[in-house]
Amino acid sequence: MSTDFNGTWNMVSNDNFEAYMAALDIDFPTRKIANLLKPQKVIEQKGDSFIVKTLSTFRNYRVQFTVGEEFEEDTKGLDNRKCKSLVTWVSNKLVCVQKGEKENRGWTHWVEDGDLHLELHCSDQVCKQVYRKVPGA
Ligand code: VLZ
């Protein structure tokens, strides 16, 4: 049985997000706004099929994938690039490699002590986020 990521999760911490966005060449004013956000993750998981929504007052982002199947990701509204993305299970972690113009780009999700963890990386920058489950949502 793999981890159940289903649910609505509210951000409780966000370390080095600004530098991660800078590594993605996101412009200064957008970074300043985005850095103040406390986004929500809404995850719909059925087996190995996922929809991950990142929701905020400023911008939303949605990605849909099946673990083990490479897909074309269009990071529209973020840094507006195309990536070939692949998510795999590495023990109980969901590991995404986003192949494209940016080196060493990807993210890792896992659940630890009931919290949703996310590490986002690009080039030499790592952003660490933690989300807490919204009960009953
Ligand atoms: O998450 O790649 O959960 O896509 C920030 C949206 C989303 C609001 C950051 C700010 C991307 C927009 C997070 C201003 C630039 C991400 C993956 C893992 C799923």
Residue ranges per structural domain of the chain: 7-133
Among 27, 61, 76, which residue has the most ligand 1 atoms within 8 Å of its CB, making it the best to mutate?
61
Q: How confident is the model at residue 137 (pLDDT cuts 50, 70, 90)?
A: confident
What is d(CA 48, CA 125) in angstroms, rounded to the nearest whole number? Answer: 28
Ligand 1 within 6 A of CB of 20: no
CA distance readout (Å), 81 to 26, 73, 74 = 11, 8, 6
Ligand 1 within 6 A of CB of 34: yes
- The architecture (CATH level 2) of 7-133 comes to Beta Barrel (2.40)
pLDDT single digits (tens) 41-98: 999 999 999 999 999 999 999 999 999 999 999 999 999 999 999 999 999 999 999 9
* Better pLDDT: 70 or 3: 70
pLDDT single digits (tens) 53-63: 999 999 999 99
Q: Let me know if 87 is exposed, middle or buried by CB neighbors in 10 A (0-12, 13-18, 19+).
A: buried
This model of the complex carries an ipTM of 0.92
Does the pLDDT of residue 1 top 80, yes or no?
A: no
Give this prediction's pTM: 0.96
CA of 120 to the centre of ligand 1 (A): 9
Q: How many Cβ atoms sit within 10 Å of the Cβ of residue 29?
A: 8
